[in-house]
Amino acid sequence: MVAYVYQKLLEEGVKAGQVPARTRSARNWFRNLAEQTRGTTPNQILNTAPKVQLTRQPQVGFLYNFFYDPKMKDTLPYYDTFPLIFPFKRGFARARATEGGAFFGINLHYLPPQLRARLMDALYTISTDKKFDDNTRIRLSYEILNKASKFRFFKPCVKKYLVSHVRSRFVKINADQWDTALFLPTERFKKKSKQFVYRESRKAIGR
């Protein structure tokens, strides 16, 4: 069985004296380590050790991976079949993310790594606590994101997902592993390359 990818990288960081998410230097250390990791696949993340937290009901403000098959994939210019999202709701959110058979999420895969890091640094400022453990989440709503310029990179990442087209359970990624998850090469874009997607996202941010 494949070792739990996030936990393995976390342990490497702790051995190196880094405490994830607590300082900018620690976050950068984990990001650099994750960027150097090659060959990590979605199945390695989903088919891993028992410590992986799997759920069928995502909660607002936590980070998740899952497999997705879009309903309108034939008409979409491109899409990601293994999103990495922070679910959120329009209006001030309750804990449950899904409503009416759908949910919104910020899919961080749509940003190039540099902008992903800048958005994540901004999101850390609205975390519920500084413990960065399995209870830490982001205080997330569309209204909060839309009113502050420091969150402006989120706009090309906003996606709507249909529960009926989710093709796996959700893998919950704890806060001490966010910086590793952000930079693992697990995006699975269809129809276009990730470089094309990044260019389109930059254009959307600039508009």
- Give the model confidence (pLDDT) of 44-59 as tens digits: 766 654 456 888 889 9
Rounded to an integer, the average pLDDT of 160-164 is: 93
Q: Name the region of 17 (left: φ>0; alpha: ψ -120 to 50; beta: rest).
A: left
Q: Name the region of 124 (left: φ>0; alpha: ψ -120 to 50; beta: rest).
A: alpha
Residue 186 pLDDT greater than 80, yes or no: yes
- Closest by CA to 152, choosing from 181, 123, 125, 177, is 123
Rounded to an integer, the average pLDDT of 23-38 is: 58
Do the beta carbons of residue 118 and residue 153 sit within 8 Å? yes
Read off the amino acid at residue 59.
Q
- Give the model confidence (pLDDT) of 104-135 as tens digits: 999 999 999 889 888 988 999 999 998 888 89
Could you tell me the pTM of the whole model?
0.80
Average model confidence (pLDDT) for the chain? Answer: 80
The 3-state DSSP class for residue 97 equals coil
